[in-house]
Amino acid sequence: MRAGQVAPLDETDRRIVTELRADGRLSMRVLAQQLHISRASAYSRVERLHRDGVITGYSAVIDPERNGYGISAYVYLNISQHSWKQVQQHVREIPEVWHAALVSGDHDLVLLVRAHDAQGMRDLVLNRLQTLPNVVSSHTVLILDEIPLTGVGE
């Protein structure tokens, strides 16, 4: 294999990723038991998956509402041509943006945003997102309910 190339994932690697997506706090002992492999094999495979960039980190999955974010929306932005890098930097600085993606289709960016209340959402959309440099237009869709996913088999 050439330098910089990543080894293809086998079935055990895929199962490790699935198990860690479902519960990133699994100990190596429990992970090894669930997959019927040795603890040493679990350690080395997880380390390789980190090194190869397959696993890029771990995070807590929270309930936004219980964490004080009572309103969520998808905000679709249209931006000036060739301004993705500048807009990306501004979007990264807004803590209410939980996810951002450059997309194809009628819009350029889709943002998952969360605010504490309707007034906070209004301020976020009208005063902070729509006024960003290179934002040409926006379209906001309020989220009425969310379907919790475990991260496995999506």
Number of Cβ atoms within 10 Å of the Cβ of 23:
13
Instruction: Specify if 152 maps to a domain.
Output: no
Q: Is the model's pLDDT at 44 over the cut of 90? A: yes
Give the model's confidence band at 150: pLDDT under 50 very low, under 70 low, under 90 confident, else very high: low
Residues 81 and 120 both lie in one domain: yes
CATH code of residue 20? 1.10.10
Phi and psi, residue 75, nearest 5°:
-115, 120
Instruction: Specify if 103 maps to a domain.
Output: yes
Instruction: Specify if 29 maps to a domain.
Output: yes
Give the model's confidence band at 88: pLDDT under 50 very low, under 70 low, under 90 confident, else very high: very high
Contact 77/87 with Cβ under 8 angstroms? yes
Q: 3-class DSSP state for residue 35?
A: helix
Instruction: Specify if 16 maps to a domain.
Output: yes
Give the model's confidence band at 154: pLDDT under 50 very low, under 70 low, under 90 confident, else very high: very low
Residues 102 and 131 both lie in one domain: yes
CA 151 – CA 19 distance, rounded (Å) = 10
CATH code of residue 129? 3.30.70.920
31: domain range? 11-51
* Number of compact structural domains in the chain: 2
pLDDT tens digits, residue range 110-143? 999 999 999 999 999 999 999 999 999 999 999 9
Residues ≥6 apart with Cβ < 8 Å to 114: 64, 69, 71, 72, 96, 98
Instruction: Specify if 95 maps to a domain.
Output: yes
